[in-house]
Structure 1
Amino acid sequence: MQKKLFKSMIMSSALLVSLAPFGTGVGANNTANNVATAQLAELFGDYNLSSSQMTSVIVELKEQSIVEAKHKGKNQTKANLTKARNQVKADLNKAVKAAKVNREYDYVFSGFSVELPANQIPALLALPGVKAVYPNLTYTVDSVGEGEVIPEEAYSPEMFASAPHIGANAAWSAGVTGKGVKVAVIDTGADYTHPDLAHAFGSYKGWDFVDNDADPQETPKNDPRGASTDHGSHVSGTVAANGTIKGVAPEASLLAYRVLGPGGSGSTENVVAGVERAVQDGADVMNLSLGNSLNAPDWATSIALDWAMSEGVVAVTSNGNSGPNNWTVGSPGTSRQAISVGATQLPYNLYNSVISTTEGVSYPSAKVQGFPSDAELLALNGKEFEFVHVEMGAPADFVGKNLAGKIALISRGAGIAFVDKASAAKAAGAVGAIIYNNVAGEHADVPGIAVPTIKTTLEDGQKLLAELEKGNNKVSFNITHSQRVGEAMASFSSRGPAFGTWMIKPDVSAPGVNITSTIPTHNATNPHGYGSKQGTSMASPHVAGAAALLLQAHPSWNVDDVKAALMNTAEKLTDPATGKAYPHNTQGAGGIRVMDALNTKTLATPGSHSFGTFYKDKGKQVEKQQFTIKNLSSERQTYTFDVNFGENSNAIKVLASNNLRVNAGQSQQVNLNVQVDAGQLAPGYYEGTIVISNGTETFDLPTILFVKEPNYPRVTSVGVSQESSDKFSIYGYFPTGAESATVFIYSATSAGAPVSFIGVIDELENIPSGYNEFYTWDGTVNGQKLSPGYYNVYVNATNKGVTTQAGGNFQIK
């Protein structure tokens, strides 16, 4: 197939708003030199600029926000910002009659949100005073699965094991409880009437940006706009519950900002508004257990968070649940300044498993994939269970099947997470599950899954299906203890690096699997309860609570001090599968340890370091970097530094000042001279460690550098939107563009499983960088119009010799 030269809709539309030549009266020099071209604002986002469909965007103004101007040494007033914003709005109303301005910002972000036809965005870009335009993206809660309501007779204070694990209880014993520290929870709201949370809320509870009132309560049942919520209450409990269970900072005060509405979904415009309001309301710490899948730092939410940190508010965000591959961190976890948090599983037991059906049939690949508790897993022993095949494990696959007290046999795939398959099995009454692979090889373990779950290979799964065909539908288990595993990274936790800034993400990690906390039950007779959830949403508030403890104990610390203390003293976590430490972009600096952070006598900022990208083929490329050492002790300290890049240390050398003397209570810069012989190294990224010692204490700074073209995905976040029966837009995020791309279609089940290849839609060349609707499609393949139903679109994108693939499920209506 002939490749088509891609013509950017953004660029072609932008040409329409360039200024015309000056007048051509007598004496006018009518040459190309007299053509004045407007300098357009920068455009980020996914838009079909040929469509008249209404879309919502976030406008950033050239006029600096109050906080940005303050930190750049400039005077800025609310009145001046209002005047500048009103001028842009007036210009917009003249240029785009249908434009409707919604939220306005001036404190940590300068601009407004506006709804307008997509084909009028180029006119918006040309307005004087507009700096950038961002998409009004959808944000969702960063939790995995539906969670589990814990019956009243089952919960106890001991169930909340994660706070003691990170050392919070030792801090309480030392009198550090978060008292006097205000934590903003920017989420789905909070049940401030819950007896474990009521103490933390004053007369002012926060703000509801969904319903625009002062009552940030969770979405109740029977809201016609969508499902009820409990996520923000769960997060709030992890921070500051003080009742049946205790949060990390049980005497901290809370403010709730409801930016995610029914179903736990919201938008950029509300998230930015929540961040801005929290800063103005005097929050000391803010937690955002929410996100999207875009690995890009320069979105409106990240900008707002960075300036919130500059204003002295410790911003903590979840890193996302798109792991375990690298480059999966999403905004706002990509923020340069905010503390991004990965999720860990608390120490747990590993078990061996044997499953049996008919005599003579063996399943050698059977292994324990995950379980909610040791007791529930071991309860499968000594019994025989009927097992029922439920296809891909989508909720619809359970309809009409009796799973009560039985084992669900499920295939991997269909785009459904293992935790969701297990949750659906439990909801159907199953007491366990067997998940077999849909391709060759072994699939991942998932600690904390809703029902005891055994995994097998595809081959052994086919044996089980053959048994069912023969009428042999009974299975038994022999499960025995293998070993104890220390704190380990959750497989779902998103990984870095952050694209563009090349920063290590997450910054730190914290418990995020099977976390018990406060929830509303939405049951009038028994309204307050407890639930178990997992996700980086659950990890982030552990760090927010820890930040509150640090601020109470060290009220003079700034945001960089808090972040550094948590990172410098984090415990390196070991992958039980390899016996080696997890990579930096998996665990960050490691699992947080509260008492070590409280008692540290040295701070190194920043707590991790990216040396950037090195391209020079011959000889050594030399760059200079630096970080700061702060001596918190009462005596002068002498520090030494050793930088280790392991087996690559011959090609990567980092020289630092040794025997650096820092007086008590003082800070000094540490200069680093980085020499990289890129010609000896394959393209990619390389992790190293800066070891800092004062003779009695030693701690590590994770560091990273990139050689030539890093192995980032050439395309992510691919999908299809339908405008009419014969007009579809295919969109995706191309971090640095693509030299070529192939777009192809598979048929799919309703749950999203590819079942057969249909054909190639097109082959394209020279796709520009960014997140945009890059192709308009008429719904046909090889001249045949596709019938209504579910499909998968995939894009293979190639740039600078590397090809990656991304795809998404969509429906033709």
Structure 2
Amino acid sequence: MKITTILSALTAATLVSAGKFHSLKPGKTNILPNAFIIEYEDGIQHHDAHDALKTHKVDYQVRNEYNVFNGASISVNSNHDGHALAEIPGVKNVWHITVYSMPKIEKSKVKPTDPQATSDHIMTGVKDLHEKYKLTGKGVKIGVIDTGIDYKHPAFAAKGATAGCFARFGKNCRVAHGWDFVGDDYTGFNSPVPDSDPMDCYGHGSHVAGIIGGNALDIKVTPKPPQPFVGVAPEVTLGAYRIFGCNGSAGEDVILAAMELAFNDGMDVINMSLGGGSSYKTNPTSVLAEKLIARGMALAGAAGNDGADGVWMVSDTGLGDHATSVASFDNLFVFMNYLTYGGKQFPYNWSDAYGKVISLPASATLVPLLVNGVLSDGCDQGSYAGLDVKGKVVLALGDVTRCKSGGRGALAQSNGAAGIIIQSNDAGIDSLGGVPNLPMASIEFDAGVAMLATWKVSAKSAISWSTAQAPFSIDNSGAPSGFSSFGLDGDLRSKPDLGAPGGNILSTYPLAKGGYAVLSGTSMATPYIAGSHALYMQAKKAKPHGDEIRKVFKNTATISKNYKSKTFTSATKQGAGLVNVLNAVLTTTSITPDHIDLLDSVNFQKTVKITIKNTGKHTETYLLSHVPADALNSYNASNSFPLGTPLIEADYATVKFSQGQVKIAAGKSAQIKLSFQEPKKGKAGQFPIYSGFVVATPKTKNSVAVHVPYTGVKGDIRNVPMMDTDLGFPALQAVNASGALSDVPKDFTFDLTNNKPVVLTRLGSHSPDVTIRIFDADKKFVGFLNSKDAGPGFGSQGRVKNVDDTTGQLVFSQYTWEGQVLASENATLVPTTLNGGTYDIVVASQKKFTKGNYPADFEVFDLGKVTIA
């Protein structure tokens, strides 16, 4: 059957309308050259689509074919670009193939043996589900799309087995499915060499899998766990879908193939602890995720670890309308040994070299190492001048810029000290190497401040050392992790959706790398949510669609505060809050929708309706209330690039309910009208993001309250700065044959061989269309700049990071111009090359929530004239 036969069955509108080319380019390095993902129109068969490509003289090779997605990924040898492919009949969408960096392993300063690494299932209700309800995730399948899994690890052995699994699909292994899509040597930019063995040679995937379903409670084989731990769903069935080699990156075409195989293998949940930076929900992984969720799956995607970059940075993997974008929280509390001083208890870590609980007599009192009244690091003998420390415990600051714990420990020992306490310089409690035979303890920074204050009042106060552990909250305990990315997304939708423990998580690691490790990241929080799905499905003896479970998790999450804060954390950071799986299982109430997007002042959704449903067996009365959260100001100084740390402000919306309480019969629903009013405080010209939570609390004692988050932006989002003009972007530069950039000399002519003009852009906010337009000497538009390395000068883009994680260099996009242009954003022809002459280059970024009328709806920058030979 020919493509024309298929097309005849489509509507006339399909015949005349073009497909859409999505030019998503935060930077040229993460785009695979001359490679594209194509989605076909509904009803188009693969072989007929290939016939159409050949009819239009596209010279290509197929990389992957997709069924649920209904499309393919291809490498193009001819001059056809994405815009030309989108014009071919039967093509619905075309994207560049984005290359995702391998998830960065953030090794925590907490060691696997430290108490802070204990898996904290108490804060999420999982401990009760394990112990009281005997839920283990049995019967549920979770696919891990990652670096593979070390399936031989004993923590993945079947229940009752004494060793790991030596064949992936054997009776002693719960990694029952898997495939290696790439091979060890794959980097993302070379050809994959797939095979059937998804063994992990990097570590990230094994750690993720352990959080989902590892079980190291009763392991008697080597390597033994540094301390007992168990994953969220210790009897879940795992699928290992390896998309990374031992180093490098992964193409989005490979990721789509892994998602489809996970679906074909019957996975109930897909875990994707990876992301490609901020984006729109129209990226291919989000599009396929929505299709899979509609077919009964659930998808958990990492929100990203770009918290230091400020707002608009939530990662693209979980941006779909029904997918779950997961933020990270630090552990709530830990069981630790402690010292008592001045009547207060302070948790401590003993040093590696000492290696045991500290026990010292009461005569070993405290002596702070003060220099000019300030606590010193204890790194030189001068710190001990005039002090009698023999038989006593010295207190020193934990600054490691001059010496490490061994150096200061040896010095304390040589001066006759009975022990040394190190005040941690950063958040948390440091790990110490120490020296043999010297009791050495690290404490939190605030603990050091408190102990010093007690000493100043009573220098003879005794220190007592515990023989047993007690529960303690430590720095940032139970609060959203600092590294976790902020939303909103490019359409001002509420993302991330909810959070889970992701800071300082002990889990499995490849046996070749030691077997266990403590890592931090939203990569660790995401599998916690995936495993939580398994417990919920087992408890309900059903497998609801992912968006249904997401709603329950969001409704019943724990709304949290920043560490030591009296106000609640913005929903752009924590989503609906910290997942509470016990509440999700026990609740008999739901609220729909599971979030409210109020948008900006111009598009303000003043009136919203929610539906409360009572799924219990008795009539229930609900009290309705409003919990406001922190507002975030990222543009307080009229800066064009968002602040890395948004300013927290008390800008609160108000909410009026159509009724303050509602009685709902068993099995029935009620609709409540909410009337919102924007915050009175906060300057609209600074675009503060405000948020909060609408709560329905049952009157019945011990019932689970439910809530939904709302988010909004005060001000006109059309006026949010796009380009980072503070640092001089956009800019016109010259690039030579070796790639070096320089200013453009006056009256310079580019020969387009030894030197070329290059346009530099740096986007601080999402834009529906970032264009580079070329005008002739008569100010007539002649086309959009086309760059052979960066692609066409148009397309939607997410904001960029501040600096690159690996190099530390400023992030910006670079379009080298060889004189080529495209007549329009939907051009059907290959790029044309302009004749020599003088041209004007204009960078114009479409503002959010506009129709795209040029120039009224764009932020426009005229970079001036260039002359090409």
Q: TM-score if structure 2 supplies the norm length?
A: 0.60
After superposition, residues 755-774 of structure 1 pair within 5 angstroms as: none
1:386-785 matched pairs, under 5 angstroms: 405=406, 447=428, 486-500=477-491, 502-522=492-512, 529-556=515-542, 557-615=544-602, 624-643=607-626, 653-656=655-658, 660-672=662-674, 682=684, 684=687, 685-696=689-700, 697=703, 698-710=705-717, 714-715=722-723, 725=739, 726=755, 730=760, 732-733=762-763, 735-736=766-767, 751-752=807-808
One-letter code of the match for 2:39?
A: E
1:292–1:262 Cα change, 3 Å: same
Aligned to 1:625, the other structure's residue is in SS state strand
Is the contact between residue 289 and residue 318 of structure 1 (CA under 8 Å) also seen in structure 2? yes
Counterparts of 1:622 and 1:316, CA distance in 2: 28
Q: Does 1:145 pair with 2:106?
A: yes
| d(CA) in 2 for partners of 1:255, 1:482 | 36
Moved more, 260-269 or 485-494: 260-269
Gaps of 5+ in 2: 1-14, 160-167, 171-175, 184-192, 218-228, 335-345, 349-365, 379-391, 409-420, 434-441, 446-462, 466-471, 632-649, 740-754, 774-801, 811-815, 818-822, 826-842, 849-856, 862-869
Partner Cα distance (1:739, 1:124) in 2: 19
Alignment of 1:60-139 (within 5 A): 60-63=39-42, 81=44, 83=45, 85-107=46-68, 109-116=69-76, 120-139=81-100
Instruction: Check if 1:298 corresponds to 2:271.
Output: no
> Is contact 2:35-2:75 (8 Å) kept?
yes
Structure 1 residue aligned with 2:262: 278
Tell me the CA shift for residue 276 of structure 1. Answer: 1.7
- Indicate yes or no: 2:149 matched with 1:190: yes
CA contact (8 A) 1:142 1:318 kept: no
Closer, same or farther in 2 for the Cα pair 1:380/1:207, shift >3 Å?
A: farther
The correspondence for 2:21, drawn from 30, 42, 50, is: 42
Alignment of 1:317-328 (within 5 A): 317-324=301-308, 325-328=310-313
Q: Is the 8 A contact 1:678 1:707 kept in 2?
A: no
Rounded to whole Å, the distance in 1 between the matches of 2:581 and 2:805 is 47
- Cα distance in structure 2, aligned partners of 1:748 and 1:298: 24
Following the alignment from structure 2 to structure 1, what is the Cα–Cα distance between the partners of residues 707 and 656?
A: 15
Instruction: Between 89-98 and 126-135, report the one with greater CA deviation.
Output: 89-98
- Tell me, in whole angstroms, the C-alpha distance in 2 between the residues paired with 1:769 and 1:583: 41
Cα deviation for residue 496 of structure 1 reads: 0.9
1:291 counterpart SS class: coil
CA drift of 1:560 comes to 3.3
Cα distance change on mapping 1:689 and 1:656 into 2, 3 Å: farther
Task: Verify the 8 A CA contact 2:560 2:577 in the aligned structure 1.
Answer: yes
Q: Deviations over 1:302-361 (max 9, x none)?
A: 111122222221211111000042211111132321111111111359999x99999448
Check conservation: 1:182, 1:284, Cα contact below 8 A.
yes
- Label 1:43 to 1:448 Cα distance change in 2 as closer, same or farther (>3 A): farther
Q: Of the candidates 230, 251, 257, which is equivalent to residue 241 of structure 2? A: 257
| Distance in 2 separating the partners of 1:383 and 1:673 | 56
Cα distance between partner residues in 1 of 2:253 and 2:503: 30
The 3-state SS of whatever aligns with 2:84 is: helix
Supply the distance in 1 between the matched residues of 2:806 and 2:628 (Cα, whole angstroms): 47
Spell out, residue by residue over 1:242-277, the C-alpha distance to the aligned partner (whole angstroms, 9 max, x if none). Answer: 234311111111111112222263121122222222
Counterpart contact for 1:197–1:242, Cα < 8 Å: yes
| Contact 2:39/2:91 (8 A) holds in 1 | yes
CA distance in 2, matches of 1:98, 1:355: 78
> Alpha-carbon deviation of 1:534?
0.7
Does structure 1 retain, via aligned residues, the 8 Å contact 2:23–2:95? yes
TM-score, normalisation: structure 1: 0.64
Aligned pair partner of 1:309 in 293, 317, 323: 293
Measured at CA, do residues 278 and 593 of structure 1 come closer, stay the same or move farther in structure 2, by a change above 3 Å? same
Match of 2:178, as an amino acid?
G
Within 2, Cα distance between the matches of 1:128 and 1:708?
Answer: 42
How far apart, CA to CA, are the structure 2 residues paired with 1:491 and 1:544?
22
The 2-side partners of 1:455 and 1:122 are apart by 57
- Pair 1:176 & 2:135 matched: yes
Question: Is the CA contact 1:240–1:545 (under 8 Å) kept in the aligned structure 2?
Answer: yes
CA apart distance, 1:577: 4.4
Structure 1 residues 261-298: Cα deviation after superposition (integer angstroms, max 9, x where no partner): 22263121122222222122211122111112123221
Question: Could you give the per-residue CA deviations for residues 87-123 of structure 1, whole angstroms, max 9, x where no partner exists?
Answer: 332332343544222111121x221112226763332
1:593 counterpart letter in structure 2? N
Distance in 2 between residues matched to 1:747 and 1:104, nearest whole Å: 35
2:196 aligns with 215
Q: Distance in 2 between matches of 1:299 and 1:328?
A: 15
**1:571 Cα offset (Å):** 1.4
Gaps in structure 1 of 5+ consecutive residues: 1-35, 64-79, 221-228, 367-378, 390-401, 408-430, 436-444, 457-477, 755-760, 763-767, 771-794, 806-813
Once the two structures are superposed, what CA deviation does each residue of 1:222-251 show, in whole Å capped at 9, x if it has no partner? xxxxxxx11111111111112343111111
1:7 match: none
User: Which residue of 241, 248, 255 maps to 2:214?
Assistant: 241
Distance 1:136 1:450 in 2: 42
Q: Deviations over 1:474-502 (max 9, x none)?
A: xxxx9x999776412211110111221x2
Counterpart-to-counterpart distance in 2, 1:520 and 1:243: 14
Tell me by how many angstroms 1:714 deviates: 2.1
Residue of structure 2 equivalent to 1:166: 124
Structure 2 distance, partners of 1:600, 1:308, is 27
Change (3 A) 1:149 1:91: farther
Paired AA for residue 664 in structure 1:
A
User: Counterparts of 1:216 and 1:257 in 2: how far apart (Å)?
Assistant: 9
> What CA distance in whole angstroms lies between the structure 1 residues aligned with 2:591 and 2:803?
53
Deviation digits for residues 158-185 of structure 1 (CA, Å, limit 9, x no counterpart): 9542234422221112121111111111
Cα separation, partners in 2 of 1:496 and 1:384, compared to 1, 3 Å = closer
Q: Distance in 2 between matches of 1:448 and 1:268?
A: 39
Bigger mean CA deviation after superposition, 164-173 or 235-244? 164-173
Is the CA contact (8 Å cut-off) linking 2:369 and 2:375 kept in structure 1? no
2:478 partner letter: E
CA distance in 2 between counterparts of 1:168 and 1:542 reads: 10
The 2-side partners of 1:713 and 1:53 are apart by 29
Q: Percent identity?
A: 26
Larger of the two Rg values belongs to structure: 2
**Secondary structure of 2:129 counterpart:** helix
Q: CA 1:657 to 1:40, structure 2 compared with 1: closer, same or farther past 3 Å?
A: same
1:96 to 1:597, Cα distance in 2 relative to 1, 3 A = same
Q: Structure 1 residue 590: deviation in Å? A: 1.4
CA distance in 2, matches of 1:769, 1:489: 45
Secondary structure, counterpart of 2:154 in structure 1:
coil
Cα distance in structure 2, aligned partners of 1:317 and 1:750: 22
1:208 & 1:666 partners in 2: Cα distance?
48
State whether residues 738 and 799 of structure 1, in contact with CA within 8 Å, keep that contact through their aligned partners in structure 2.
Answer: no
Deviates more, 1:132-141 or 1:722-731: 722-731
Residue 766 of structure 2 aligns to which amino acid in structure 1? P
- For the 8 Å contact 1:342–1:539, the answer to whether it is kept is yes
